[in-house]
Amino acid sequence: MGKPDTATREYINDSQIFADVFNYYAFGGRKVVEPDKLEELDTSALLTVFGKDGDEETIQRYRDALKIATLRTDDNAAYVIFGIEAQTHIDYGMPIRTFLYDGLQYDSQARKIKTAHMDTGDKYSKDEFVSGLYKDDGILPVIMVVIYFGAKPWDGATRLRDLYKCKYKELLDLAPDYNMHLIEPARMTDEDFEKFSTSMGKVLKFMKLSSDKDGMRKLMETDDAYKSMDRKAVRALKECANISIDIDSNEEVVDMCKAWSDAQEDAARRAARTASILATVKTARKYGATDEVIFSDIITQFDLTEKEAREYLLKESA
């Protein structure tokens, strides 16, 4: 698992963030899903399938975050399983992945119901025996949202039908479809970002503008909320937006405005240093110096490692 995946997974598993995502996506920002009414579920799912020769093959998949929620509806309680997948890059087969994840979760629920009946010695009718489910048994709905932590628009499929390669409409109309729930910053508005009650709205807005230097500068200068962001949110931003930020593990709150400004200044210094080294190499070659001599000179002049010096020689040659 790469750093961006680790950082975003830790972030979205926070109950406050997790609830906020579904309050935004399903309820327009209304606080219906309560963080303290969420219960962690096992994110792994197994399915045993049989090949044509009867050989068993076990399929195992892991979700990034999976929780069961208790929702109040009048005087009754409703239960639903929520899942989140965090993507730092576009996955062009994502509808297939989400379809499989949800299918495995439904299969897991059915297996548990069947096991419960067997453990209590319940009697089946002939029809019920086939599946192990009683006619009045039910399963919980599974709703998964994919959060794409990227600046550019998602240009991949968002439903199974988008992936089908078939020219016969009659057949396509018979083929099952599956819609993927997607949150992507590039297509969100300022009004959308404000519907979040946690730092998630700020994280997504940051990612939307992460490739827009002028937009980022204006955001950091005008939005004071970024001056006191929680460490998990900043860590996710650091890895997803590939920003060089030092985060003190002892601090729970980070001044993102200052951190971003420092990162920009550091990037400018590094860019200037790189340009200076490349110019030195180019000039030395112009006047006939061998790469062996240049190699030794730039190590001494710019305090480089041998590996860095070789990379600069290759880069200037490109």
In the chain, count H helices and then E strands. 12, 9
* Same domain? 217 vs 309: no
Structure tokens at 129: 């025996």
The domain containing residue 160 runs over which residues?
Answer: 3-254
CB 148 within 8 A of CB 137: no
Q: Which of 204, 224, 254 is the last residue of a domain?
A: 254
pLDDT class for 206, splitting at 50, 70, 90?
very high
Q: Which residue has the tokens 């009754």?
A: 76
Residues 121 and 212 in one domain: yes
At 222-272, the pLDDT tens digits run: 999 999 989 899 889 888 888 877 777 777 888 888 888 888 888 889 999
Largest CA distance in the chain: 93
At 125, list the tokens. Answer: 């009718």
Who contacts 165 (Cβ-Cβ below 8 Å, separation ≥6)? none
Residue 59 pLDDT: 64
CB burial string 19-51: b at 16+ within 10 A, e below: bbbbbbbbeebeebbebebbeebebebeeeeee
pTM above 0.85, yes or no: no
| Claim to verify: residue 171 and residue 297 sit in the same structural domain | no
263 lies in a domain?
no
pLDDT in tens, 129-188: 777 888 888 899 999 999 999 999 999 999 999 999 988 889 988 999 999 999 999 999
DSSP label at residue 68: E
